[in-house]
Amino acid sequence: MLCPTAILADYPKGLNVPLMRHQRQALEWMHCREQGNPKGGILADDMGLGKTLTMIALVLARKLTERRTEASNDDDEDDEDNYCKWTSKWKRECTQWELEIKSKVSGNQLTTCVHHGQKRESKRKLLRTYDIVITTYTIVNNEHKVGGPLFGIEWKRIVLDEGHIIRNHKSQTSNAVCSLCGLCRWILTGTPVQNKHMDVYTLLKFLKYPLLDLPTYWKRSVEKGQLCLKTILKTLMLRRTKAQLQERGELSNLPQKRTELIEIELDKDEMKVYQKVMDYSHDVFAQFLKQKADSYEILVLLLRLRQICCHPGLIVSMLQNGGVQQMSFESEASESEFDDVQQMSSESEASESEFDLLKKLATDDNSETARDFLSKSNSVFDLKRPSSKMRKVLEILKTSVLKTNDKAIVVSQWIGVLEILGSHLEEAGISTLAFNGQIPVKKRQDIISEFNDPSSKKRVLLLSLTAGGVGLNLIGANHLLLFDCHWNPQLEAQAQDRIYRVGQKKNVIIHKFVCKGTVEERIQSLQKTKLALADTVLSGGKASQDTKLTRDELQHLFGIKKR
Model confidence at 367: pLDDT above 60: no
Measured in whole angstroms, the distance separating CA 61 from the mean position of its chain's CA atoms is 30
Measured in whole angstroms, the distance separating CA 194 from the mean position of its chain's CA atoms is 10
According to the model, what pLDDT value does residue 91 have?
46
How does strand 155-161 pair with strand 182-188? Answer: parallel
Q: Mean of the per-residue pLDDT values for the chain?
A: 82
- The Cα 226–Cα 212 span in angstroms is 12
Give residue 129's region: left, alpha or beta (phi > 0; psi -120 to 50): alpha
User: For residues 472 and 172, which has the higher predicted lDDT (pLDDT)?
Assistant: 172
In this prediction, residues 313-337 reach a mean pLDDT of 45
In this prediction, residues 208-220 reach a mean pLDDT of 77
pLDDT by residue (tens digit) across 36-65? 999 999 999 998 899 999 999 999 999 988
- The Cα 419–Cα 436 span in angstroms is 11
- Distances in Å between the alpha carbon of 88 and those of 128, 236, 551? 10, 20, 44
Question: Domain ranges in the chain?
Answer: 21-68+82-247, 257-262+386-515, 268-384+519-557
- Distances in Å between the alpha carbon of 442 and those of 112, 120, 266, 448? 17, 15, 40, 11
pLDDT band at 283 (very low <50, low <70, confident <90, very high): confident
pLDDT band at 211 (very low <50, low <70, confident <90, very high): confident
DSSP-assigned states of every residue in 339-397:
TSHHHHHHSSPPPTTS--HHHHHHHH---HHHHHHTSTTSGGG-TTSPPHHHHHHHHHI
pLDDT band at 72 (very low <50, low <70, confident <90, very high): low
According to the model, what pLDDT value does residue 26 have?
98
pLDDT by residue (tens digit) across 249-268? 999 889 999 999 999 999 99
- The Cα 328–Cα 415 span in angstroms is 6
Given this chain, do its domains 21-68+82-247 and 257-262+386-515 carry the same CATH topology? Answer: yes
According to the model, what pLDDT value does residue 435 have?
95
pLDDT by residue (tens digit) across 512-537? 999 999 999 988 877 777 777 677 66
- The Cα 92–Cα 135 span in angstroms is 8
- The Cα 470–Cα 165 span in angstroms is 10
Q: What percent of the chain has pLDDT over 90?
A: 51
In this prediction, residues 480-494 reach a mean pLDDT of 89
CB 8 within 8 A of CB 28: yes
What is the SS3 assignment for 512?
A: strand
According to the model, what pLDDT value does residue 93 have?
61
Instruction: Given CATH 3.30.9.10, say whether it is the number of domain 257-262+386-515.
Output: no
Amino acid at 97: W
Model confidence at 355: pLDDT above 80: no
User: For residues 531 and 32, which has the higher predicted lDDT (pLDDT)?
Assistant: 32
pLDDT by residue (tens digit) across 175-192? 999 999 999 999 999 888
Helix H or strand E encompassing 87: strand 87-90
According to the model, what pLDDT value does residue 353 have?
35
According to the model, what pLDDT value does residue 168 have?
87
Model confidence at 322: pLDDT above 60: no
Highest mean predicted confidence (pLDDT) among 122-131, 486-495, 531-540: 122-131
According to the model, what pLDDT value does residue 99 have?
82
pLDDT by residue (tens digit) across 535-558? 766 665 555 444 456 667 777 777
According to the model, what pLDDT value does residue 295 have?
67
- Distances in Å between the alpha carbon of 464 and those of 414, 415, 492? 6, 6, 11
How does strand 323-324 pair with strand 479-482? Answer: unpaired
Helix H or strand E encompassing 68: helix 51-71
pLDDT by residue (tens digit) across 448-461? 999 999 999 999 99
DSSP-assigned states of every residue in 473-510:
--TT--EEEE-S--S-HHHHHHHHTTTSSTT--S-EEE
What is the SS3 assignment for 459?
A: coil
According to the model, what pLDDT value does residue 358 have?
52
Topology annotation, domain 21-68+82-247 = Rossmann fold (3.40.50)
CB 342 within 8 A of CB 488: yes
Q: Identify which of 513, 483, 524 has the alpha carbon closest to the alpha carbon of residue 262.
A: 513
According to the model, what pLDDT value does residue 391 have?
98
pLDDT band at 325 (very low <50, low <70, confident <90, very high): very low
Count CB-CB contacts under 10 A for residue 491. Answer: 22
> Could you tell me which residues come within 8 angstroms of residue 262 by beta carbon, excluding any fewer than 6 positions away?
392, 396, 511, 512, 513, 514
* Residue environment code for 450-463, b if the CB has 16+ CB neighbours within 10 A, otherwise e: ebbeeeeeebbbbb
Sign of CA dihedral 422, 423, 428, 431: positive
According to the model, what pLDDT value does residue 370 have?
56
According to the model, what pLDDT value does residue 494 have?
87
